[in-house]
Amino acid sequence: MRRQARLAGLLPGSILSGGRGRSFHLFPAASAARAVPLVLAFHGGGGAGIGFAAFSRLNAVAEREGFAVVYPDGLAGSWADGRGITDADRAGADDVRFVSDLVVEVGRSFPVDPRRVFAVGISNGGTMALRVACERAELVSAVAVVAASMPAVLVQSCRPARRVSVLVIHGTEDGLMPYGGGQVMGTRGEVIGARATAIRWAEWNGCATKPSVMEPPRVVEDGTRVVVETFPGPGGVDVELRTIEGGGHTWPGGLRYAPVGRIGRTSHNLDASEAIWAFFAAHGRPPERPRPRGEGDRRWVKPETSTTGGGRRSRPATGTG
């Protein structure tokens, strides 16, 4: 019953993008009378959007704060994040286009504020969110990643078209995607690590090179501690690293989605969903100045066809992210 309550209001939908049928679940904003913020939420490898919704409890924050969340499903449970080793990568999935098409599709249901479109993900979903920030920086104002960092190959090609605020949340005892960088699960491609990811984005954004450091008081004694490093930047664009000392490959404050022996400890000294929304709420894109007449306007690619669940509610999740 608890899981059903968390998933109430999720609407299933599908869209044709790049010649492939793709699915998603949408948690719409309570009010469509005005343009609302939209959060793109990417599940982890081997998971599904509905499972991510269940263990992150992000919908509860969305309902209270008045934003919408869309949970896309990766191809074969994975995302083409640029490492070249996921099933989606091998299948040639154009997930960056899928994300762009999905924003347009959601905008057909209710008005979306283009200055407040954000992306969040865990693990493979986090690396996908970073790829979106690299390749579609004009689409998202900020991204947040949990238990994820930049793939080494993506660092070489990343050329964001504009500044993007970035929040990195990572546990030091993550045995799947190492906090300090290295091979993911031994053979799943190399990542540069949490701190290197924060520093790299701070450089790209023109942020301060020396962060301010804060250690919030512990809420519970669960073997974890949170250290917050903030790299302030120009125009309100910031980078933040929240290190979970003792934390594993988990969603802080969320439900445990796999055995502790596999994913490590879940910290309850931080509620990741609350922290991520607070970061997003503070990092919407400021209004743009009017463009000179005759200047071109880059627009999203229109999706080919789509079908959206007309008010149907989804069943409880059984998968994990």
Distance (Å, whole) CA 192 – CA 190: 7
Taking only the tens place, the pLDDT of each residue in 121-167 is: 999 999 999 999 999 999 999 999 999 999 999 999 999 999 999 99
Q: How high is the pLDDT of residue 288?
A: 61
Find residue 306's DSSP bridge partners. 15
Could you tell me if residue 75 is inside a domain? yes
Residue 289: pLDDT over 90: no
Q: Residue 218 has which token pair?
A: 């512990």
> Helix 124-135 vs helix 95-109: angle between axes, to the nearest 10 degrees?
80
φ and ψ at residue 300, rounded to 5 degrees: -70, 150
Under the banding of pLDDT at 50, 70 and 90, the label for residue 189 is: confident
Under the banding of pLDDT at 50, 70 and 90, the label for residue 9 is: confident
Residue 124's contacts (CB-CB under 8 Å, 6 or more residues apart) are 42, 44, 45, 74, 78, 79, 81, 86, 148
Could you tell me if residue 314 is inside a domain? no
What percent of the chain shows pLDDT beyond 90?
76
Could you tell me if residue 6 is inside a domain? yes
Could you tell me if residue 255 is inside a domain? yes
Average pLDDT over residues 32-46: 92
Under the banding of pLDDT at 50, 70 and 90, the label for residue 34 is: confident
Residue 25: pLDDT over 50: yes
Q: How high is the pLDDT of residue 286?
A: 80
Q: How high is the pLDDT of residue 226?
A: 98
Could you tell me if residue 28 is inside a domain? yes
Taking only the tens place, the pLDDT of each residue in 164-183 is: 999 999 999 999 999 999 99
Find residue 240's DSSP bridge partners. 167, 230
Specify whether the CB–CB gap between 127 and 95 falls below 8 A.
Answer: no
Could you tell me if residue 318 is inside a domain? no
Residue 297: pLDDT over 70: no
Average pLDDT over residues 85-107: 94
Under the banding of pLDDT at 50, 70 and 90, the label for residue 62 is: very high
Number of domains in the chain: 1
Taking only the tens place, the pLDDT of each residue in 221-239 is: 999 999 999 999 999 999 9
Under the banding of pLDDT at 50, 70 and 90, the label for residue 85 is: confident
Q: How high is the pLDDT of residue 209?
A: 85
Taking only the tens place, the pLDDT of each residue in 236-245 is: 999 999 999 9
Q: Side chain identity at 14, as an amino acid letter?
A: S
Under the banding of pLDDT at 50, 70 and 90, the label for residue 257 is: confident
> What's the length of the chain?
321
Q: How high is the pLDDT of residue 259?
A: 85
Q: Are strands 36-42 and 225-231 parallel, antiparallel or unpaired?
A: unpaired
Distance (Å, whole) CA 252 – CA 269: 8
Mean of the per-residue pLDDT values for the chain? 87
Could you tell me if residue 317 is inside a domain? no
Query: 146: domain range?
Result: 2-289+296-308
Q: Side chain identity at 157, as an amino acid letter?
A: S
> Three-state SS for 27?
strand
Could you tell me if residue 315 is inside a domain? no
CATH of the domain at 246: 3.40.50.1820
